[in-house]
Structure 1
Amino acid sequence: MYPASQTENLRQEAATALLSSQTAEVIGGFLDGKLSAFAVFFDLPEAISNGRAGQLDDLYVAAGARGQRLAQEMVEAVVGIGRARGWVHLRWLVPEDNAAALRTYERFAKAASWKSYVLWLGDGGSW
Structure 2
Amino acid sequence: MSLIIREARAGDEAGWRRLWAAYVDFYQVDISEAVTASTWSKILSPDSALFLRVAEREGRIVGFALCLTHEGSWILGRDCYLEDLFVDASERGKGVGRALLDDLVALSKEHGWSRLYWHTAETNVTARKLYDSYVASDGHLRYRINF
With the length of structure 1 as denominator, give the TM-score of the two structures. Answer: 0.81
* SS of corresponding position for 1:2: helix
AA of the residue aligned to 1:2: V
Distance 1:46 1:60, change over 3 A: same
Unmatched 5+ stretches in structure 1: 122-127
Q: In the TM superposition, what whole-angstrom CA distance separates every residue of 1:64-94 from its partner, at most 9, and x where no partner exists? A: 0100111111011111111111111100010
CA contact (8 A) 1:26 1:38 kept: yes
Identity of aligned residues (%): 19
Q: Distance in 1 between matches of 2:136 and 2:126?
A: 16
Shift of 1:9: 5.3
User: What pairs with 1:52-71 in structure 2 (closer than 5 Å)?
Assistant: 52-71=78-97
Among 119, 125, 132, the residue aligned to 1:93? 119
Q: Distance in 1 between matches of 2:112 and 2:29?
A: 40
Unmatched 5+ stretches in structure 2: 1-22
Among 32, 37, 43, the residue aligned to 1:13? 37
Q: Distance in 1 between matches of 2:44 and 2:119?
A: 23
Map of 2:17 onto structure 1: none
AA of the residue aligned to 2:74: I
* SS of corresponding position for 1:28: strand
User: What pairs with 1:22-101 in structure 2 (closer than 5 Å)?
Assistant: 22-101=48-127
AA of the residue aligned to 1:49: I
Q: Distance in 2 between matches of 1:11 and 1:114?
A: 28
Map of 1:125 onto structure 2: none
Shift of 1:15: 4.9
Runs of 4+ in 1 over 2 A off after TM superposition: 3-21
Indicate the structure with greater helix content: 2
Distance 1:15 1:65, change over 3 A: farther
Shift of 1:110: 2.1
Matched, 1:105 2:131: yes
Distance 1:13 1:93, change over 3 A: same
AA of the residue aligned to 1:40: L
CA contact (8 A) 2:53 2:64 kept: yes
Map of 1:2 onto structure 2: 24
RMSD value, Cα = 2.3
Distance 1:113 1:10, change over 3 A: same
